[in-house]
Structure 1
Amino acid sequence: VLIPKGASSFQIAEILEKEGVIPNKYLFFLYAKLHNKTLKAGVYEFKGQYSTVDIYQKIANGEVKLKLFTIIPGDNLLDIAEKLEKEKILKKEDFIKFVFNKENVRKYGLVGDSFEGYFPPESYRIDENETAQTLTEKFLDIFKKRYLPFKTIIESKDYSDFYKPKISFYEAMIIASLIEKETFVEKEKPLIASVIFNRLKSGMKLDIDPTVIYALRLKNAYNGKLTKEDLKIDSPFNTYKNKGLPPTPICSFSLSSLQAVINPAKTNYFYYVLSKDKNGHVFSESYQEHLKNVKENLKD
């Protein structure tokens, strides 16, 4: 049963009677007036026999029918939108329209052109009556509690040995998202961070495939395979064409990826390639060594 936002006690009583949950709307309304608690909107499920008092308490306590919605590390806003539609929570277009609106980002006092990177990997308990706004607020609540405390640590750290004296928290978020997409091996994350910082400091382009895939997905032009022609796409996210970081994060990232930005390994690595057994990466300092590693590990 859907109890809409802003419904009065009597309107709620009418809905409950109409749905066959209570036998008499006037009894419910009278009980509600006597106890005068705020009745909370949402989708409620009633199975079996309930007394009028039980039903009142359930709605007053906000015991809405909830379901779990999971964001996994590496999901981007487009992935989340597709999941929401697949799970019949929200239309993909409605979510995308809200989360890629720069003005909405500003309303929450955040940096960036979209909410990319601000929705942490987590299983969220959500109401079936969610909107793009209420979902965003749920996701941001976890971000503020779990991720925002690292802002002071990052912005007070001296990164001179790795890149430049100071980096912003948002830059750290972008780097964390790149790390998330580049490796699934936890112990490798500080090494990937090291390569990213070394390349940024030297003025090299990052040449990170997932940034190109993100650019293609934004244009609905990715078919699951990355070609040499794709690497030429005209997009600020294409790190094969543009030096420096992409303009926003490219996905949701785990805390361990952010920790890798806070504590990157100190190395002279500039290159890496997926190992032959696909259990990790092989790192190298020089391009010649990298070519050798590519030849050895990308054999059929």
Structure 2
Amino acid sequence: MKRFLFTAFTILTAFILLSLILINKKMYIDKEITIPKGSSTFEIGEILEKEGVIINKYIFIIYTKIHKDETIKAGTYQFKGNYSLKDIYEKLAKGEVKLRLFTIVPGDNLLDIAEKLEKENILKKEDFIKFVFNKENVKKYGLVGESFEGYFPPESYALDEKETVETLIAKFLELFKKRYLPYKEKIESKDYSQFYKKRITFYEAMIIASLIEKETYIPEEKPIIASVIFNRLKANMKLDIDPTVIYALRLKNLYSGNLTKENMRIDSPFNTYKYKGLPPTPICSFSLSSLEAVLNPAKTNYFYYVLSKDRKRHIFSDNYQDHLKNVKENIKSY
């Protein structure tokens, strides 16, 4: 009996020592593995052993039992470097899933973002659109407007495998509040009398910034475009901005890629060829340079502009006759 106990003790001691060695021994791993939702500890151990991430699944299982207060998170994990079993467990328990970059570029609207999200297998387009065009959801976040249009800043965002519409919006709005919201007080305290009216709201500034974003990519032109928009608003003229018509068409899934005369007559509050004033919401995400152009517009007498022959700049004019001449000289080359 003593010999049996001694032998059992020796085997147990050897197993514990071996386990400690394997738990702390590091080895180089270059693997991407996925832990499915609902996987048991045994199933996870089998996946890790099969993929060569750990040497022995049973030691892994025992280790997880010792640390039963922590739960392994499902998701896709990237391993590249030297890891011990302990390192691997900690990575899985912390849920350090593989991150991917999702990019919103200046000029993207909510429909563009929805299409990208679906294309990159992050969210279904319909689910995103249903949420972000719901006015009640906008109110829940304490925001102004009929949709979240304009509130998602251009940037590359690090996303994980578990994103929902809510977690995405939290990421987008966190950056908006940090980078864009500081302009609110500056804009709403500025006297715009010489440009338009004495005060404009921050949301009006967001709408104008989105129009500027769609009209030019040239930084030095943005304050001039802002000036034209303000001048037309002050003169009670329609803005006549093509991208607003395109936005109206896209909202109704009617845009084919070209604007026709029939398109220009679409009955929508976004159609600035049909209705005076600003559209009801921004029409896209916009860069800070566009918002800064609203804060510091140029002081001009311009009411019109047209893209130049080489498509590298706009030609501005203060009267309709000169504008028609500029259009005739430049538009034929498009």
TM-score (norm 1): 0.91
SS in 2 for 1:204: coil
TM-superposed deviation, 1:53? 1.1
Out of 155, 160, 179, which is 1:127 matched to?
160
Residue in 1 that maps onto 2:171: 138
Residue in 1 that maps onto 2:45: 17
Residue deviations 1:110-151 (CA, integer Å, cap 9, x gap): 111111101111111111321122111111111111111111
For 1:149-164, what aligned pairs fall within 5 Å after superposition? 149-164=182-197
- d(CA) in 2 for partners of 1:41 and 1:101? 31
Residue in 1 that maps onto 2:216: 183
Q: Where does structure 1 differ by over 2 angstroms across 4 or more consecutive aligned residues?
A: 1-4, 11-22, 24-33, 36-52, 59-63
SS in 1 for 2:197: coil
Per mean C-alpha deviation after superposition, the further-off stretch among 41-50 and 163-172 is 41-50
SS in 2 for 1:130: coil
Residue deviations 1:182-205 (CA, integer Å, cap 9, x gap): 001110000000000001111101
TM-superposed deviation, 1:20? 3.1
Letter paired with 1:141:
E
TM-superposed deviation, 1:246? 0.4
Residue in 2 that maps onto 1:85: 118
* Residues 45 and 61 in structure 2, CA contact (< 8 A), matched pair in contact too: no
Residue in 1 that maps onto 2:314: 281
Is residue 52 from structure 1 mapped to residue 85 from structure 2 by the alignment? yes
TM-superposed deviation, 1:26? 3.9
Residue deviations 1:4-52 (CA, integer Å, cap 9, x gap): 6xx8xxx77455225335613642333424xx56866653234688533
Letter paired with 2:323:
H
TM-superposed deviation, 1:60? 4.5
Residue in 2 that maps onto 1:230: 263
Letter paired with 1:20:
L
Is residue 30 from structure 1 mapped to residue 58 from structure 2 by the alignment? no
SS in 1 for 2:302: coil
Rg larger in structure? 2
Out of 86, 92, 100, which is 2:133 matched to?
100
Is residue 66 from structure 1 mapped to residue 99 from structure 2 by the alignment? yes
SS in 2 for 1:128: coil
TM-superposed deviation, 1:208? 0.3
Out of 218, 237, 240, which is 2:251 matched to?
218
Is residue 251 from structure 1 mapped to residue 276 from structure 2 by the alignment? no
Per mean C-alpha deviation after superposition, the further-off stretch among 17-26 and 281-290 is 17-26
- d(CA) in 1 for partners of 2:46 and 2:212? 54
Change in CA separation of 1:262 and 1:2 when aligned onto 2, cut-off 3 Å: farther
* Residues 154 and 262 in structure 1, CA contact (< 8 A), matched pair in contact too: yes
* Residues 120 and 143 in structure 1, CA contact (< 8 A), matched pair in contact too: yes
Change in CA separation of 1:44 and 1:3 when aligned onto 2, cut-off 3 Å: farther
SS in 2 for 1:75: coil
Per mean C-alpha deviation after superposition, the further-off stretch among 260-269 and 287-296 is 287-296
- d(CA) in 2 for partners of 1:104 and 1:188? 35
TM-superposed deviation, 1:283? 0.3
TM-superposed deviation, 1:271? 0.4
TM-score (norm 2): 0.82
Residue deviations 1:206-253 (CA, integer Å, cap 9, x gap): 000000000000000000000111111011100011111000000000
* Residues 44 and 63 in structure 1, CA contact (< 8 A), matched pair in contact too: yes
State the aligned residue count.
Answer: 293
- Which ranges in structure 2 are unaligned for 5 or more consecutive residues? 1-33
- Which ranges in structure 1 are unaligned for 5 or more consecutive residues? none
Change in CA separation of 1:15 and 1:129 when aligned onto 2, cut-off 3 Å: farther
- d(CA) in 1 for partners of 2:35 and 2:144? 36
Change in CA separation of 1:234 and 1:15 when aligned onto 2, cut-off 3 Å: farther
Letter paired with 2:48:
G
* Residues 118 and 140 in structure 1, CA contact (< 8 A), matched pair in contact too: yes
Change in CA separation of 1:139 and 1:12 when aligned onto 2, cut-off 3 Å: farther
- d(CA) in 1 for partners of 2:36 and 2:176? 29
Letter paired with 2:168:
L
Residue in 1 that maps onto 2:332: 299
